[in-house]
Amino acid sequence: MTSESPSKTAQVGHKFDESVRTVLSAIVIALAIRMFAFEPFNIPSSSMVPGLLIGDYLFVSKYSYGYSSLSTIFGVLPLPGRLFNQAPERGDVVVFKLPRDNSTDYIKRLVGLPGDTVDVRHGLLYINGVAVERQKLEQPMATNYVRPSETTTDYLETFPDGNQHVIREEGDDFALDNTPMFIIPPRHYFMMGDNRDNSADSRAPNGGVGYVPEENLVGKAQILFFSLDGRAHFWEIWKWPWAVRWDRLFKKIS
């Protein structure tokens, strides 16, 4: 009957300790990246169609606007206000915490900055009293993935600073196509979905989104890195060849 020598046992224990340290280090690095650099999000609703579709997965840069307790994982940093605060720009696609519960993630386009006035008249967006230019596209976008209705119209909308993006309208007299004038308070922002007639956003303060405080900003949507058309869950890798929207991978979000 034989037994391992003390030196061999110590060697095995040392290798095990090294493996544990490596795994723990990898976990810490991954959490740090997710907390301070990039965090993945997926699109659960159609409020940002045609630019973002249900089943899209994207990376959000956490550093773009600085850090708050609501932008870190599980609120582990009890920060007052924002650390390294950087003001977002009009037209950014932003992930933020829903103000009424401070926990649900929403994604919308930033339309109004602090001090702006925003209102909608017969589907046309006005910022500071000036109508935002929109140009009708010949046909709706993303028709191979989202079947548009007969009344669907896509427009190229151009903000005063030149930011351009595509919005979708089903008509110009839906519930949120005519609004009162909103005056954006200091340190708050006004958000709208690109799918204007299918978006609960800042136009609906009661039961919607209302004004978004700056501490609720999580980050800026940057890269669309993956997309599934609904025929597979993310973990069903064996279905990916048929379910992945290959032409949508690694697209910059604008």
The DSSP element (H or E) to which 35 belongs, if any, is helix 6-36
Structure tokens at 133: 């230019």
- H-run or E-run covering 242: helix 240-243
Q: Using an 8 Å Cβ cutoff, are 252 and 240 in contact?
A: no
Which active-site residues does the annotation give? 47, 108
Integer Cα distance of 235 and 118 in angstroms: 42
Spatial CB neighbours of 162, under 8 Å, sequence gap ≥ 6: none
Distance of CA 153 to the CA centre of its chain: 23
